[in-house]
Structure formats: C-alpha cells, structure tokens
Amino acid sequence: MRILFADQFPTPAVEALVEEGCDCELMPGLTAAEIPAASQGFDVLVVRSTGVTADVFENSPSVSLVIRAGAGTNTIDKEAAAGAGVIVANVPGRNAVAVAELTMGLMLSLDRRIPDNVVAATAGEWKKGEFSKADGLMGKTLGVIGFGSIGQEVATRARAFGMEVAVVAKARSEAASDAIERLGVREVDSLLDLAAASDVVTLHVPANGDTKHLIDTEFLAAMQEGATLINTSRASVLDEGQVLEAMGSRGLRVAVDVFEDEPGSKEKAFTSAFAQHPDVLVTHHIGASTQQAQDAVAAGVVDLLHQYRAGALVNAVNMDSTPGGAVLTVRHQDKVGVLSDVLYELKRSGVNIREMSNHVFAGAGAAFATIRVSSDISPEVVALLNATPEVIYCSLRESD
C-alpha cells in the first residue's frame, strides 16, 4: 500500500508503517494545487489542513482513501470523492483535550487580560489597578455549542473551575447524554435561550451549511452585555462583521483560534480586519497542536489504515447512511462462484446492492452472506435464489 502524507506527520508512526511493508512518502510542503499531480500512483492520501480538491480524484485514479488526520473534513471535496468511489475518513476525538485546553486558556486570558498584562509589563508599564478588575469564572455560566468530544472535554474542565454549563436540548449520542448527566449540565430550549443564559459562549461545531454564520445578528443581540465569545472550531461559524459590531455596541469580549482567510502556510504576513482588531484575542489555529494530540491523531490514523487493509470501513464520512430497503441473508456453500450466481440473479431482477458482507464458518465449508438492497425483492426472486445450486437457504427481512 502506497501512502502519501501531504502534511506533517510524526516520524515514528511513518517508520512503523514502513516496517509493516507500506511505501510511505512525506511531502509536508505540498499545496492544494500540487496534490493532484503528487498523489498519482498512491493508494492513500493523508492530510491535516491542506485542501483536497476534485482535481485529486480526476487526476489520481489510484487513490481510494483520503484520511483527514483530525476531525473536520470541510477542506476535502467529499462529493467529488464519493463520485469517484473514494472513501473519506477522519480521526475524531483524538485532539479533543488539546482544543479544550486552549479553549480554557483563551477564557482565562480574556477574563484576566493576561496578554495585556504581559505586553504592559514588557513595555515597563505597571498597571495593577487596571488589570485587577477581572470578574473571575467561578459561578459563571458557560454555554457550549457543539457537545461532541471537544465540547464534553471543555465542560469537564469548566465544571472543575466551578462554572455552570448549559447546552441546547436535542437528541444526542449515548456518550453525550451520559456526560450531561454526569457533569450536571443544564439543557435549554434554543440557541437564543443559551445566548441569554450564558456569561461565556464557546463553539465546537463542524463547518457545514447548518453552522455557517450560526453566530449572527440575532444570536449576538441575545447575548448578555459584556459576555465572552470563544471560537476554536471553524471560522465560517461566525459572521465576523456582525461580531465586530457587537463588540463595539454591546461590549462583547472575543477570542478565536480561527478566522476567515487565515494564511494557509505556517509563516506568512497577512491582513485581517477581524483578526487584527485590537479587542479580538487571536491564536494561530493551534487548537490541536500539542504533541500529545499529534501523537494520538497519528495513532488513530495508523489504526484506521490497519482497519482499511483488513477490509473494514472506519470513520468513513462520505458513505450513504440512508436507512431503508431490505436485507437478504444467504447461507451458502463456501465454493467459488456461489455468490456470483446470487448476484447475477439480483442483477437480472433489477435489484441494486447497497452493502454486502460474507463470513465463512470455521471448518464447516459453509458461509453466511448479508446483502442490503435498495429496492424490494419479490418472493419469486427469493425462490430463484433458494433454487440456486449450493445455496443452502435465503431469507429476506426489512432493514433496521
């Protein structure tokens, strides 16, 4: 398996893959425009923040898997990948602690004005009176928007600081529901209710159509005077112009790790009215950039590659998860061509297959296939399948 790492990746992890027989190339300086040509002949492409455009899938037919060494996949053209039959997978949750730690650091920095303290002292200015006016975090309410792995880690740390935590009530995963109960998180009815109830709002959502400019004029107007807003998720979640206006009219305090049109390279001069506003506290998109997080993400990527080599799809984000159809179970002799005959009968009947797996019994010479289809199968087709040579028995049931 040939693997191209188009961003920085820990050397020990790459060396381990090489020892397993993988052909690995590290090209961390590649730009999005250079990846289509560079990825030709590779089976797997691994990226962090570098964009993966449709040109990759048009020019590199050998690429069958793109791995985002992190959680967000908004920089990858997932629709083009799906059209080319390429899997896009991510490694969620591995950098959650790192982002949560930065979030708490930004929260403290805004409350205690730590950067301003340092700048003044470095300039030889003693302003103890001015910098002694912090509110403190204990007893304040933190509104968390996005209660996945990062949001849960932030809530855990906020509770340790004596803060109350609030989220919007909605259907959640079992892990998130357990965290809400364990941490004593309060649920409110809507985003606007969350804005009104929170002294601090922190954002931990992906970039998509539902979250674009989630923080808009209406949300900002509902926030408390002088409240704090922190964004360590994606720049598109904020309407930056409206945030700047709310800072001036309502005294909001803002800290971000991401902003629109941020530089794509590690070092570069840039101009941004938002990021360079004197009252916006900015870090350099470093939320996941701790060694602990990078090692954890690397381990997740290696594990995902192992699973892929074994034929398993793990954390694939561009697969169709639409329920429905029916599930055909086929118990059959473990012989060459049996499943081919079954698939031929399905093809003749105009039945399209959505998912399929086949498992062989130990020492029995038999196997068990599960085929999820996208259309109804008539009793006559099932009868034909049961009459197929070396098929033991076929049965049909509705999909879960």
pLDDT in tens, 4-23: 999 889 999 999 999 999 99
Residue 276's CATH number: 3.40.50.720
Q: For residue 232, tell me if it sits in a domain.
A: yes
Residue pLDDT, tens place only, 49-89: 899 999 999 999 999 999 999 888 888 999 999 999 999 99
The confidence score (pLDDT) of residue 400 equals 56
| Residues 128 and 213 both lie in one domain | yes
Identify the band that residue 192 occupies on the pLDDT scale cut at 50, 70 and 90.
very high
Domain region containing 347:
326-398
234 labelled catalytic: yes
Q: Look at residues 309, 343, 374 and tell me which one is the last residue of a structural domain.
A: 309
**Mean pLDDT, range 120-124, rounded to an integer:** 96
**How many structural domains are present in the chain?**
3
Select the more confidently predicted residue: 376 or 215: 215
| DSSP state letter for 236 | G
The confidence score (pLDDT) of residue 217 equals 95
| Residues 241 and 374 both lie in one domain | no
Q: For residue 320, tell me if it sits in a domain.
A: no
Packing angle of the helix pair 149-160, 96-112 (nearest 10 deg): 40
Q: For residue 63, tell me if it sits in a domain.
A: yes
Select the more confidently predicted residue: 393 or 289: 393
The confidence score (pLDDT) of residue 196 equals 97
DSSP letter for each residue of 165-179 = EEEE-----HHHHHH
Residue 372's CATH number: 3.30.70.260
| Residues 219 and 350 both lie in one domain | no
277 labelled catalytic: no
Q: For residue 385, tell me if it sits in a domain.
A: yes
285 labelled catalytic: yes
Q: For residue 321, tell me if it sits in a domain.
A: no
CA distance 155 to 149: 10
| Residues 106 and 240 both lie in one domain | yes
The confidence score (pLDDT) of residue 302 equals 95
Q: For residue 259, tell me if it sits in a domain.
A: yes
Residue 324: is its pLDDT beyond 70?
no
Identify the band that residue 184 occupies on the pLDDT scale cut at 50, 70 and 90.
very high
Q: For residue 133, tell me if it sits in a domain.
A: yes
Which position among 113, 234, 253, 332 bears the catalytic label?
A: 234
Ramachandran area for residue 301 (φ above 0: left; ψ -120 to 50: alpha; else beta): alpha
Length of the chain: 400
| Residues 305 and 388 both lie in one domain | no
Closest CA relative to residue 252, chosen from 289, 295, 215: 215
| Residues 382 and 264 both lie in one domain | no
Please, are residues 205 and 234 in contact by the beta-carbon 8 Å criterion? yes
Q: For residue 118, tell me if it sits in a domain.
A: yes
CA distance 387 to 390: 9
The confidence score (pLDDT) of residue 271 equals 87
| Residues 298 and 264 both lie in one domain | no
Q: For a pLDDT cut of 90, what percent of the chain falls above it? A: 80
The confidence score (pLDDT) of residue 399 equals 60
Scored b (16 or more CB within 10 A) or e, 130-159 reads eeeeeeebeebbbbbbbbbbbbbbbbebbb
Cβ atoms within 10 Å, residue 224: 17
| Residues 358 and 382 both lie in one domain | yes
Select the more confidently predicted residue: 365 or 198: 198
| Residues 73 and 102 both lie in one domain | no
Compute φ and ψ for 129, nearest 5 degrees. Answer: -60, -45
| Residues 239 and 162 both lie in one domain | yes
Residue pLDDT, tens place only, 218-248: 999 999 999 999 999 999 999 999 999 999 9
Give the three-state DSSP class for 131.
helix
Compute φ and ψ for 305, nearest 5 degrees. Answer: -65, -40
| Residues 105 and 189 both lie in one domain | yes
The confidence score (pLDDT) of residue 367 equals 95
**Which position has the token pair 């709002």?**
201
Q: Indicate the average pLDDT of the chain.
A: 93
Residue 346: is its pLDDT beyond 70?
yes
| Residues 304 and 371 both lie in one domain | no
